[in-house]
Amino acid sequence: MTISAANDLVRRVQADPNFIELERKRSSLGWNLAILMLVIYYGYVAMLAFAKPFLGIVFAGVMTLAFPIGMFVLLSAIVITGIYVNRANTEFDALTRKIVEANQ
Partner 1 sequence: MSRLLLQRLSAIAAFLLCSIGTAMAAGEAVGQTEKQATNNTAIIMFFVFVIATLFITFWAAKRTRSTSDFYTAGGSITGFQNGLAIAGDYMSAASFLGISALVYGNGYDGLIYSIGFLVGWPIIVTLMAERLRNLGRFTFADVISYRLGSTPMRLLAASGTLVVVAFYLIAQMVGAGQLIKLLFGLDYFYAEIIVGVLMICYVTFGGMLATTWVQIIKACMLLGGATLIALLVLFHYGFNPMAMFADAVAVSPKHQAIMQPGSFVANPVETVSLGLALMFGTAGLPHILMRFFTVSDAREARRSVLFATSFIGYFYILTFIIGFGAITLVATNPDYIDPATKALKGGANMAAVWLADAVGGELLLGFISAVAFATILAVVSGLTLAGASAVSHDIFASVLRRGQDTGKTEMHVSKAATVVLGILAIVLGIGFEKINIAFMVGLAFAIAASANFPVLLLSVLWKGLTTRGAVLGGFIGLIAAFSLTVMGPSIWVAVLGNKVALWPYSNPALFSMPLGFLCCWIFSITDSSARAATDKAGFDAQYVRSQTGIGASGASSH
List Cβ<8 Å contacts ≥24 apart for 18-27: 18/95, 18/98, 18/99, 18/102, 19/95, 19/99, 21/95, 22/92, 22/95, 22/96, 22/99, 25/91, 25/92, 25/95, 26/88, 26/92
Does 60 interact with partner 1 (rule: CB under 8 A)? yes
Q: Which of 41, 68, 91, 94 binds partner 1 (CB under 8 A)?
A: 41
Does 28 interact with partner 1 (rule: CB under 8 A)? no
Does 42 interact with partner 1 (rule: CB under 8 A)? yes
Angle at 76 between CA 92 and CA 95, to 5 degrees: 0
Q: Which of 17, 23, 39, 94 binds partner 1 (CB under 8 A)?
A: 23
Does 94 interact with partner 1 (rule: CB under 8 A)? no
C-alpha 43/C-alpha 49 separation (Å) is 10
Binding interface with partner 1 (CB under 8 A): 6-7, 9-11, 13-14, 19, 22-23, 26, 29-31, 33-34, 37-38, 40-42, 44-45, 48-50, 52, 55-56, 58, 60-64, 66-67, 70-71, 73-75, 77-78, 80-82, 84-85, 88-89, 93, 96, 99-100, 103
